[in-house]
Amino acid sequence: MTKWLILAIIISIVMLSCDEIPFIYVEKSVSGNKTLVYNINTAGGINETAFVGVISIVNELSANKDGQLQKKDYTIKELSIQSANFEVIANQGNLSNTLYISSVVVKPAYTAAPIPFMQETSIPIGLTSIVPQSANLLFPGVDAINKSLAAAVKNRDDNTVWSVDIRGRGTPLNSRINITVKLKIVFNLVYSYCEESLFVIDGPKCGK
């Protein structure tokens, strides 16, 4: 078996010596979250805004995720939302025991009105602990963001930004709510690149 393997390698080297070393087409994906932070301190209603953009998502996903993203020129093929979750941290002076989120809406640059992104939910506020909770995403908001991301990828537009608004209140009603809310949105990035291959001569190829 070893002899046949060595022979195959030698044959490959001889064949390649008469031609260019091929570059094969490689496609991979990587997932990671982009965290939006809301600092809330009020005794009334909550209406807080954070912003997220394509360039910040790509930077977040490419940092320490896959060595290929640092070493090679790559092309983004697709960027989309997978899921989301909340983390609620109680700050000193907080008197609320529950965060009630009545709505989470997004507003991509091309829309005139905010679009529902997540269902209403109630999250208990721990005195000292971080309380994680999955978010139930709504199709209109997810679809709007994914379409915005697809357009940005197609047009190579790194400047696409949209707002994400959280609305709600603390309970009991009118109690002081002093918390930090982290909304972690999980994105998936599909990318491709050309890789020099000495021995693999089958499969899709691409130019230098």
Three-state DSSP at 197 gives coil
- Summarised one tens digit per residue, pLDDT across range 31-64 is 889 999 999 999 999 999 999 988 888 888 877 5
Domain annotation covers residue 20? no
Determine, yes or no, domain membership for 53. Answer: yes
More confident residue, 200 or 97: 97
Q: Which residues, at least 6 apart from 131, have a Cβ–Cβ distance to it below 8 Å? A: 87, 88, 123, 124, 125
Inside any domain, residue 22: no
Can you give the residue range of the structural domain that contains 69?
A: 27-194
Residue 46 CA, distance from chain mean position: 25
The answer to whether residues 51 and 161 touch, using CB atoms and an 8 Å cutoff, is yes
Q: Within a domain: residue 182?
A: yes
Domain membership flag for residue 116 = yes
pLDDT of residue 169: 95
Q: What's the CA gap between 46 and 62, in Å, rounded?
A: 33
Each residue of 121-164: pLDDT tens digit? 999 997 666 767 888 999 999 999 999 889 888 888 778 889 99
> Residue 17 domain-assigned?
no
Burial class (CB in 10 A: 0-12, 13-18, 19+), 148: buried
State residue 74's pLDDT score.
77
Residue 17 has pLDDT above 70, yes or no: no
Checking if the pLDDT of 186 tops 90, the result is yes
The answer as to whether 205 is a domain residue is: no
CATH of the domain at 79: 2.60.120
Q: What are 56-91's pLDDT values in tens digits?
A: 888 888 775 555 555 567 788 899 999 999 999 999
What are φ and ψ of residue 72, in 5° steps?
-130, 155
Q: What is the DSSP string of 109-174?
A: TT-SS-EEEE--EEEE--SSS-EEEE--B-HHHHHHHHHHHHHHHHHT-TT-EEEEEEEEEEESTT
Please check whether residue 199 lies inside any domain of the structure.
no
How many structural domains is the chain composed of? 1
